[in-house]
Structure 1
């Protein structure tokens, strides 16, 4: 009888292929220090909007970047995943691996995901070399997020139509020591983006 291959058996027969073109060469060509900007915050906090504004500013500075948005990724790569705690963990794991490849290509990568669990964000951080991961906490009170409710998700969650919705039926664990902490109350999207760009300049990523 043919023996079924286990995950461990498959993995041990896979060897990382080193390419001739290195990470350092790609970064030098792009004249920037590759990094992952991991935007985290509640639904409606402004993650995607601010990340878009930051990428726009990077483009104007002639920097190479790519934005991985939570909803966009669930239309393709992660369309097989739901919103249970286990699926949320797998969602973040996959994005971390994809982001790592983008950073290796020399890009400045932006990701906009709720990523509610601190352990998952830490797991992604551990995929990267020192200085290649910056946690960006978009800090907006849940009351404000709920007032905005751009997709009507809080309303559905309160009505019991969406299970395990972060902030309502599922916990959000805010970063305790984020690399960049943006408190959005009273400031514009443009100001939020400018603050993040200033950090990138100060730390010599761009």
Structure 2
């Protein structure tokens, strides 16, 4: 038995989610970017956040590499550690949603079950899965960090797409193919989705949707 659980009680707070939403005047959500290493997740997430910032939206971006410098620096890349990595990110993202923010997460998150756990932490319409769909060969050609070369040589184990599987989303809310679209077109697609479903308001310069 976990003795800690017997001594923990939920502390009610005076300022709740509804009050934060009223103050921020926006609909919070998680934009969960998933895809292979080198697919463009971080690049597109950064560009989307910049556009949201320009529109006066309150956001926060959680990036896979950055989080491993702090919150998850104790985790490696075994399957168990990767599951825990995504579990923690899901919990942190839930807190950001409770704070009323639009949170963007850029993680490979290769396993469907882990992404489903993250989705289950918030309301159904507060989780938007963004599949950054880029063929493995293109990701290897880009290889911005030289990780694929190391993985091919056996210097990195459990590397997604090489010796560890990537389970692609079957029904993502947003499906982006970076080998067919520019970064700006990817950003426009995501922004239009947020406008269409009421997460943010559009303006006169937006494309008709």
User: TM-score, normalising length from structure 1?
Assistant: 0.95
Q: Name 1:62's counterpart in structure 2.
A: 56
Paired residue for 2:26, among 26, 32, 38?
A: 32
Q: CA deviation at 1:12?
A: 2.7
Partner of 1:100: 94
Q: Distance in 2 between matches of 1:11 and 1:40?
A: 33
Deviations 1:7-34 (A, max 9, x none): x221132112121111011112111100
Structure 1 stretch 56-65 or stretch 130-139: which is displaced more? 130-139
Question: 4+ residue runs of structure 1 moved beyond 4 angstroms?
Answer: none
Counterpart in 2 of 1:142? 136
CA offsets, 1:162-183, max 9 Å, x none? 0000000100000001111111
Give 2:195's aligned residue. Answer: 201
Structure 1: gaps of 5 or more residues: 1-5
Alignment of 1:51-200 (within 5 A): 51-200=45-194
Which of 9, 17, 20 aligns to 1:23? It is: 17
Unaligned runs of 5+ in 2: 201-209
Match of 1:3 in 2: none
2:43 aligned with 1:49: yes
Number of residue-to-residue matches in the alignment: 200
Displacement after TM superposition at 1:186 (Å): 2.4
Tell which deviates more after alignment, 15-24 or 46-55.
15-24
Q: Deviations over 1:71-104 (max 9, x none)?
A: 0000000000000000000000001001100110
Displacement after TM superposition at 1:203 (Å): 0.3
Secondary structure of the equivalent of 1:67?
strand
TM-score normalised to structure 2 length: 0.94
CA offset digits 1:135-162 (Å, max 9, x no partner): 1100000010000000000000000000
Aligned equivalents of 1:185, 1:198: Cα separation in 2: 20
Counterpart-to-counterpart distance in 2, 1:147 and 1:51 = 21
CA offset at residue 201 of structure 1? 0.4
Aligned residue for 1:11, secondary structure, equals helix
